[in-house]
Each structure stands twice: as C-alpha cells, then as structure tokens.
Chains A and B, each alone.
Chain A
Amino acid sequence: MASHTTSLIPGEARRFALLAGGLLVGLALALASGGFSWEGGAVGLGFVLAVLAGLAQRCSA
C-alpha cells in the first residue's frame, strides 16, 4: 500500500484539480487522435507511464 498520507497534500481542491486535469488531458488527446490509430497514442502514453513509474518508484525506496 502506498505510504502517502492526507496530511502531506495541501487540500481537497488540489486533488480534484489534478483529477479534472488528467481527465481533460486524456479527453483532449483522444479527440486529437481522431483519424489516427488510437493504439499509437496509447503507445505514447505508455512511455509517459514508463518514465513516471521509474522515477516515482525511486522516490519510495
């Protein structure tokens, strides 16, 4: 289980803003992918996840 705690997060508003931001970015990318292969966009997002997963995991060691 993740070790993060609510006390370290500035507030509810920030979490809602991050969630809304992520949803909007995903929707914008989906709309932008119209006419192209959706798998290609998902491959690109996969690399973003790979970088984040690698960097973030180091922060927990």
Chain B
Amino acid sequence: MRGTEPYHHWPIRATVYATAMSLAGAATGVVFAAAGAGVEALWPDARLPLAAALGVIALAFALHELEFVRLAVPGRDWQVPVEWVRSGYYQSAAVWGVLVGAGVFTRITYAALPVLLAWLFVSGNVPFGALAGLTYGATRAASIYLSVTTHDTEETISLGQRLMGIAPAAHQWVGLALAAFAVYLLAAPYIP
C-alpha cells in the first residue's frame, strides 16, 4: 500500500482502503439480503426449506475445508486490472478496496464467504446483511494496519508470507465453523 507519497500519509491511505473495503462488503450483504427478501415476499414459506438446503451445502463445504472431499468454491478468477489502480494515491486505494471488498468479483479461497452470502439471502434481513457484510469487509481490511510494524519492503513481504503461513489452520477453523453452522441450520428449526 505504500507508494511514493510521504510516509506519514500512509495511515490515511490504509484507512481509505479499509473504509472502501468495509462499505463494499456492506453493499454486497445488502444486495444478497434484499434479493432474499424479494424471494420471501413471493414465496413466504421458502425460508425453512432454503435453510435446510443451505445446511446440506454448508456441511459439504465443511468437509471440503477439512479435506475430506474436494469441491470447487464458487467465485471468479478475475483480478483488478493494474491500470485501474495506477493513478491517484488515495483513489487507487479506494478502487482497490471496493473491488476486493465486495467479495464477489475476485477469487474466493475459503467457503465461508459463499455460505455467508447464501445465508444472507435466505435470511432476507437487510440490516443483518449490511452489518454482516460490513463485518466481513472490516475484518478482511484490518490486517493492512499490521504493515505499520514493518519498515521496508522486505519486512512487508515477510509479513505477507507469515499471514499466508496461517492458511492451513484457517481452512481448518473455517471447516469447524461451517460444520457447526450446518448442524445448527439442519436441527435448530425443528427443536421445540
């Protein structure tokens, strides 16, 4: 994120990036929840069967994250074109944050996001969609501030490598959470 601007401007640029990413996540959440609300208006009894179907899907992706099966995680391989983020010290951070933070334009490595978006759709709850999307974007952006602790490019690259080293454990935590979510969706609605 650091460019040729004075170093003391960097935290402002990081905040522009984090804010854009958070707002884009919220917008995605609103779109999915509003679409679900529309479906619910047409088919009022849809929530329970859709929740059960999502429970089965979440369980399948839990098995994927824990490497019992191999599934393709829904997503796109599109990457933000370099020329779109070439100009403007703050503008490029905002564009990058919006496109990546929306979550639906670029590559998704973990099944937690597609399952979350599907649940926002099933819930049809627009304020929940906004808050959950905002939470996703903010937590995804938060690590940018870890770069404050680095002093040069080499340290920044090393930080990125350390974060990537957490990936196997992250897949396992996501698998555990998806398994819990799946059982909850399959059981909770039917417990008196």
To the question of whether A and B form a pair in one complex, the answer is: yes
B42 contact set on A, CB distance < 8 A = none
List B residues 97-116 near A (Cβ within 8 Å): 103, 108-110, 112-113, 115-116
Chain B, interface residues (CB within 8 Å), range = 35 or more
**Contact between A22 and B175 (Cβ–Cβ < 8 Å)?**
yes
**Contact between A43 and B123 (Cβ–Cβ < 8 Å)?**
yes
**Contact between B184 and A18 (Cβ–Cβ < 8 Å)?**
no
Known contacts A30-B191, A34-B191, A56-B173; decide if A3 and B167 are in contact (CB<8 Å): yes
What's the minimum C-beta distance from B166 to chain A, rounded to whole angstroms? Answer: 5
By beta carbon, the residue of chain A nearest B100 is A61
B78 interface residue, CB < 8 Å from A? no
List B residues 158-192 near A (Cβ within 8 Å): 160, 163-164, 166-168, 170-185, 187-189, 191-192
Complex A-B: 5 CB contacts under 8 Å:
A1-B72, A9-B168, A22-B180, A27-B184, A52-B112
